[in-house]
Structures are given as structure tokens and as C-alpha cells.
Amino acid sequence: MTATEDERGAQVWFITGSSRGLGRALVTAVLDAGDFVVATARRPDALATELEGYGDRALVLPLDVTDADAARRAIDATLDRFGRVDVLVNNAGYANVSPVETADDNDFRAQFETNFWGVYNVTKAALPTLRRQGSGTVVQFSSVGGRVGGSPGIASYQAAKFAVDGFTRSLAAETAPFGVRFMVVEPSGFATDWAGSSMTVHPIPGAYDETVGALNRQVRQSSVGAAGAPKRAADIVVRTVRRGEVPSHLLLGVTAVTMALDYSRRQLAETSAWEKVSRSADFAEPYPVELPPLG
């Protein structure tokens, strides 16, 4: 580790969704970097056993992120133990598969409760501490799908990730005078159980086989594993946070970078093609103007 990466010293990390996947890898990376960690999960017993060897540097807490009171209690327990929160990581989340037309409304809402409102609850619980400290980093785990969208079958998950991004941008503007940094992490596919035991696939009607069904087969039934290495992702996040600056958005994985660049290019091309039409909506602009040619 370079001097620049190490100059911030040991930090206290608060991580949700720590029992498996990227969250679990991040807990290990934080501890191996010499920092302190509060690892939270809905069912933390096995995690507590795994982390016993780290002694007082690891605190394991139960947390259902959809419970705002529980989030506040967890932050209070962190302050009682370590006295501060330097890095807040909202990682807890999951996705189930179903076309919107046939989705179970309760399931759709339940996903949003965890994937967006969980982020809201935990972030809000930590904000008074971060503001008083005049420092801190908030890491929101999103997805490249939260930037580009368009993945059939996981509309609730992707809608929540878009909401997390918008929420975080506004929050970064609100808290700019307080010295709090925000970074949205946007991974592509990683070798976790996100598309395995954590995901329920509801019945997919034949009419949606070419869209929802095709993506489900690609993600869940492919013999080729996900390209992303969780340990590498965790190490990148830790090294990035320990720098003096963080990017507003951090893509992780080749697919994430490819999709994001392609999306940005298409956005720019479309905005440019419709620029005159879009400007013409203002009183002071020439009107009417011709629509772009078809094709």
C-alpha cells in the first residue's frame, strides 16, 4: 500500500449486508487493511463466529435495514464501541425475477424496501454523526444497471438503484459543507450468490420468454461463471476510500465499463440529435423546428 493510500490511518467502517457476497469480501478487506469494522446482517451468528479471530477490531450486529429504529440503534452501538463512523457502506440488497405485468406487488415493494429504503434508513441514521465529525465517506453499492437500466425481469431492483443514485446526488449537494464524501459503486456480474440462492425467479409467462426468460437463462443458467472477483472488488473499494479523494461513481468490472461507455455515447448522440427540438421549448428560442429525420 502506498503512503498516499495509508495517510488517513485506521478507520471505522460500518457495512450492511456483510454475511456474504461483496459485503463479506469487503469486511475481510477492511480488516486486512488494519481498519475496524462493524459488520451487520439480518442473521449475523455465523459471521460473528468467522470474525472472532479479529478480536476487538470487529463488531458484529444484527440489522434489518428496512427497520429505521434498528438502523439508529446499530449506529449508536457503533459509537459506543468505537466513538465514530468513518466509512458507511450500504451494501445490503437483492433482486427477484418477474415481468412487471405478472409481478407480485408485495414482492416488488419488499425489494424496494431493502434496496432503496434500507439505504435511506441507514444513511439517515448516520448523518448526524458524520455532520458532527465534519468528515466521513458514504459508499452506496448500486449496479451498472442503476446507470444504464434496461434489464428485463428485475425492474424493482433497477428502479431502486436509480433511486439510490438520485438520492445520493442530492445528499452530496446538501452535505457538501460538512466534509462528507459520497461514492456510488456500480458493479457488473461478480461471483457471488446474487443470482443464486439470494434470487427468487417467479413464473415467467411464455410471452416474456424472449426478454425476461432469455436474461434469466443468461444470468442463472449459464455454465460460464460471473467475471468479477469479489476479493479484487473489495480491495479496490478499500484502497479507493483510503485515498484523499473518491470518484462520485466507481464502475467495477469489464462489462460495467463497456455498458457505461456505450450508454454515455448513445446518450450524447441522442441529445445532440434532438438538441434544437429540446431548446425550442423555451420562449426565447425559435419555434417550431423540424424533428430529426427518421432512421
1: pLDDT strictly greater than 60: no
The cell 459509537 sits on which residue?
79
Amino acid 217: pLDDT: 84
Amino acid 198: pLDDT: 72
Catalytic residue selected from 142, 143, 151, 156: 142
Whole-number Å distance between alpha carbons of 102 and 186: 28
Contact by Cβ (8 Å): 231, 133: no
110: pLDDT strictly greater than 90: yes
Catalytic residue selected from 54, 120, 157, 208: 157
Residue type, 73: R
Residue 183's domain spans which residues?
3-252
Amino acid 4: pLDDT: 40
The cell 432503496 sits on which residue?
116
Active site residue 124: no
Active site residue 157: yes
Amino acid 199: pLDDT: 82
Q: What is the CATH number of the domain that holds 205?
A: 3.40.50.720
Of 75-84, 142-151, 214-223, 243-252, the one with minimum mean pLDDT is 214-223
Q: Is 178 a member of any domain?
A: yes
Domain count, the chain: 1
